[in-house]
Amino acid sequence: MDRVFTVAIIGCGSRGCGAYGGNMMRLKDMYKIVALCDKNPQMLEIAKKKLQVSAENAFLSEDKFFEKKRADILVIATQDRQHVRMCIKAFDLGYTVLLEKPITPVKQELYDLLDAQKKTNGKALVCHVLRYAPTALKVKQLLDSGVIGKLIMMESLEQVAYWHQAHAFVRGNWRNEEETSPMILAKCCHDMDLIQYYAGTRCSSVYSSGDLRYFNKKNQPAGAADRCAECRYIDDCTYSAENLYIRKWKEAGCPEDLWPQDVVQPNIPLTEESLRQAYKNGPYGRCVFACDNDVVDNQSLIMNFENGIRAVHTMTAFTNFGGRKETFHGTLGEIEYNGSLGDTRAGGVMRLSVFGKETKYFTDEELSYKIKDDFGHGGGDYGILLNLYNLACGKEEATTSLEESVESHLMALAAEESRKTGKVCKVHSR
């Protein structure tokens, strides 16, 4: 590599410190982390140690951190509603920005950020990491090759997985729309991004339906307590903290570090005792039927694109495995991708059927699936760091640029409006 870029990270949680920080530490010929900011002293302390940043370059105060430019690149991995104000400050200081998704759930802020980028000529990459996964690139390559003729429609299924829904969207950070984002943005902006990338044109209108069906008070079993540690169903309940955190950690072989257990208890190494204490005393030990959650656990969308392509997308909490399944129907054939995580076929099965001809199943090698898979998101977390590097060098444009990412956000916001009003909604009404 030509040079090593210095990096600052604001928001040193699961993504900032765990994913990008950890991955950048593995890419030492490309990146050197030199400054950190997190308002939570515990998270800052953990990140300082893990990412080997000195105390004088670790900040608790956002204002102090933004007093001057502290590196070439800034990773913004704070929560959804803080991204835009931080990104505007970063553009003013001249950082190349890696911005976590979603950009923001506030429509006007999307336009404000685009304006700020134009004014400062700012460089930014939005973390729609799935676009960089080899399997997504393969689908796009097949579609563009014309091998299945003219694309008529796509179906996609976002399998959230029962335990992930309970962890992040019932007990965790993304449970409440007002605090973060609606589910369709928080979880599915990746899907919206992929769908518009595959469609190759703008989405014009969306219809959506969905609700919070299961994780609410009326489904709490009789006699259940509001905290798992005090509940008579602690061993039998599928969603009990004991089962989701301790039992699953043991099944994984009691590793020192494991997501999402390290969100419940961020001090590594994990131990049974520290994990149990953390869920007993914290938000992750709440009964899933007695939380302050309001985001949906199931939602479907029908999207119409300007070139006539139609896409149907469903997200559901009620799956055993996480990951996506996608099918593409063309005039001459179809492509099916099963990216179920933890399935016995171990992620990344792709089928190409050209009508009347023999079906082709791609091998792992052909999909490059295993390449850098350990970086996260099927290799996408590696691919995005390569694009970031080349963007900072001036050798490449941003693949998931702010402009394109705004499109997928507008689709998600229109879907949410449709879900709430019951009407078909235009994506580009301002």
Ligand X SMILES: NC(=O)c1ccc[n+]([C@@H]2O[C@H](COP(=O)([O-])OP(=O)(O)OC[C@H]3O[C@@H](n4cnc5c(N)ncnc54)[C@H](O)[C@@H]3O)[C@@H](O)[C@H]2O)c1
> Residue 309 or residue 385: which is nearer to ligand X going by CB?
385
Spatial distance between the Cα atoms of 280 and 309, rounded to a whole number of angstroms = 49
Query: Does residue 43 belong to the site contacting ligand X (CB under 6 A)?
Result: yes
Spatial distance between the Cα atoms of 426 and 239, rounded to a whole number of angstroms = 38
> Residue 82 or residue 277: which is nearer to ligand X going by CB?
82
* Member of 8, 9, 13, 96 binding ligand X (CB under 6 A): 13
Sign for the CA dihedral angle at 57, 58, 64, 67 comes to positive
Residues of span 176-195 touching ligand X by CB under 6 A: 186
Q: Which residue(s) pair with 158 in the sheet?
A: 315, 324
Segment near ligand X (CB under 6 A); pick from 76-84, 227-235, 276-284, 326-334: 76-84
Are 238 and 215 a contacting pair, CB within 8 Å? no
Query: Does residue 127 belong to the site contacting ligand X (CB under 6 A)?
Result: yes
* Member of 50, 101, 167, 171 binding ligand X (CB under 6 A): 101
Query: Does residue 16 belong to the site contacting ligand X (CB under 6 A)?
Result: yes
Amino acid in position 124: A
Closest CA to 136 of 402, 337, 396, 409: 337
Burial class (CB in 10 A: 0-12, 13-18, 19+), 363: exposed
Segment near ligand X (CB under 6 A); pick from 13-21, 90-98, 151-159, 221-229: 13-21
Segment near ligand X (CB under 6 A); pick from 73-81, 311-319, 393-401, 418-426: 73-81
Spatial distance between the Cα atoms of 387 and 393, rounded to a whole number of angstroms = 10
Residue 268's contacts (CB-CB under 8 Å, 6 or more residues apart) are 46, 256, 257, 262
> Residue 205 or residue 293: which is nearer to ligand X going by CB?
293
> Residue 84 or residue 288: which is nearer to ligand X going by CB?
84
Query: Does residue 262 belong to the site contacting ligand X (CB under 6 A)?
Result: no
Segment near ligand X (CB under 6 A); pick from 72-80, 227-235, 249-257, 395-403: 72-80
Amino acid in position 265: Q
SS3 163: helix
Query: Does residue 74 belong to the site contacting ligand X (CB under 6 A)?
Result: no
Give me the residues that bind ligand X (CB under 6 A), please: 10-16, 37-40, 43, 62, 77-80, 82, 100-101, 127, 129, 173, 186
